[in-house]
Structure 1
Amino acid sequence: MKVSKAQTAENRQGILDAAARLYRERGLSGVGVADITRDAGLTHGGLYRHFASKDALVREACALAFDWSIPALEGSEGDTPLASRVASYLSPVHRDRPGEGCPVAALAVDAARAGGGLSEVFAQGIERNIDRFARVIEGLAPADSAPSAQGRARAMAMLATMVGGLVLARATADGRPALSDEILATLREQLAAPSPGA
């Protein structure tokens, strides 16, 4: 039975969506092709009709994961857009659902070990995140000019702190839940405070 172009595209997207989520949940080495295709509701053999190799799938799935951006926290009345995003990123919900969140906090070490093409995917994604976050910090719309060097530097420092904090919170969540919560709360408070001279 021949599959339509629309169904083929839908199957391919289903594989990418499943892979992007599963890789963030389990790491690159913790997910096999069978896991991805099963999650996507397809057969194992079908994957290679859509992707030249597992490495090609990994690169595309990680690139798709970078479409995720820090959502503004719902019901954060009175918070600035920056404080709302910091609170959302450093929340217990984000900590506990890596498959739905930031690919950097979930996969940066895997990407560093893989190098090559995957490192480039991460470099592009991180660059976009720095730009988007610097725009939030400076209150710029997408059509506005590029963020300032100072806004970009602040975005880098904040994102690095947030990613590191989330990684620490995830690493301690099972062993010492109170410490994990303390890490998130402390960083939310520190990062949401106005910058000096603001």
Structure 2
Amino acid sequence: MGRVSQAQAQENRAKVVAAAARLLRERGTDVSVADMMKAAGLTHGGFYKQFESKEALVAEATALAFANQEQLRARTETAHDGDHDEARRSLTDWYLSTEHRDTPGEGCPTAALAVDMARGEDDSAARRVYADGVRDFAAWIAVEGEDDGLVRLSTMVGALLLARSTEGTELSERFLDAAREAIG
């Protein structure tokens, strides 16, 4: 089999990072390199031609997951004609929905990766990317003129984690509803 072009190599790398971003949110950082490569439609052997290490891929995939979230915030703001308060309310409603609860691979990396990042190396690139993404999201979710972004985000993430961990019980939706009501 011949060598792939530089353009094809870049496309393959982007596929791997996108697949990894989804799988990390679905299954956490214990997901194997082989599974990430398979999800991208590539063989495990090509991994080390593209990435220095699994940790490097995790950092890049985490960054992509937060970039996707930032794009969602921008689209939400545009859909509400730049009205940040309406966009924040709309995003909060989606965040605390059963749809978001049931699709972690497409959802918020803050909630999906929290436990793995807490267990990871303090100085890892992925943890730094994660902390930056969390800080930016908390700033965006804050009500203008107030310093409540961390409280709002903590409430949202906690409710989502608890709703996911109790899915299939009546408690799951109650967590989402209670958080939505608490933060308005």
Gaps of 5+ in 1: 139-147, 193-198
Query: Within 2, Cα distance between the matches of 1:128 and 1:8?
Result: 31
User: Cα distance, 1:34 vs. partner?
Assistant: 1.1
Decide whether the 8 Å contact of 1:63 with 1:122 is kept in 2: yes
Identity %: 48
- Residues 1:6 and 2:7 aligned together: yes
Query: Counterparts of 1:82-161 in structure 2 under 5 Å?
Result: 82-115=88-121, 116-117=123-124, 118-134=126-142, 137-138=143-144, 148=145, 150=146, 153-161=147-155
Matched to 2:113, the amino acid is: L
Question: Structure 1 runs of 4+ off > 3 angstroms?
Answer: 70-73
CA distance in 1 between counterparts of 2:118 and 2:158 reads 15
SS at match of 1:52: coil
Structure 1 residue 68: Cα displacement? 2.9
Matched with 1:18 is 19
Residues of 1 paired with 2:101 and 2:133: CA distance?
Answer: 20
- 2:67 alignment partner in structure 1: 67
Offset at residue 35 of structure 1 (A): 0.7
Quote the offset at 1:183 in angstroms: 1.0
Distance in 2, Cα, partners of 1:119 & 1:98: 19
In 2, Cα distance between equivalents of 1:125 and 1:86 = 17
How far the C-alpha of 1:60 sits from its partner, in A, is 1.0
CA drift of 1:164 comes to 0.5
RMSD between aligned residues: 2.0
Task: Please report the TM-score for the alignment, with normalisation by the length of structure 2.
Answer: 0.86
1:130 offset after TM fit, Å? 2.0
CA distance in 2, matches of 1:172, 1:89: 17
Kept after mapping to 2: 8 A contact 1:15/1:36: yes
Q: Does 1:52 align with 2:60?
A: no
- Name the SS of the counterpart of 2:68 in structure 1: coil
**Quick check: which has more Rg, 1 or 2?**
1
- Note the residue ranges of structure 2 that are not aligned, 5 or more in a row: none
* Number of matched pairs: 172
CA deviation map 1:65-93 (0-9, x unaligned)? 111325549x99xx932221110100000
- 2-structure distance, mates of 1:13, 1:80: 33
Q: Distance in 2 between matches of 1:101 and 1:24?
A: 7
Asked whether the 8 Å contact 2:138–2:152 carries over to 1, the reply is: no
Q: Distance in 1 between matches of 2:56 and 2:138?
A: 25
Matched with 1:165 is 159
1:67 is paired with a residue whose SS is helix
Report the equivalent of 2:174: 182
Contact 1:68 1:102 in 2 (8 A): no
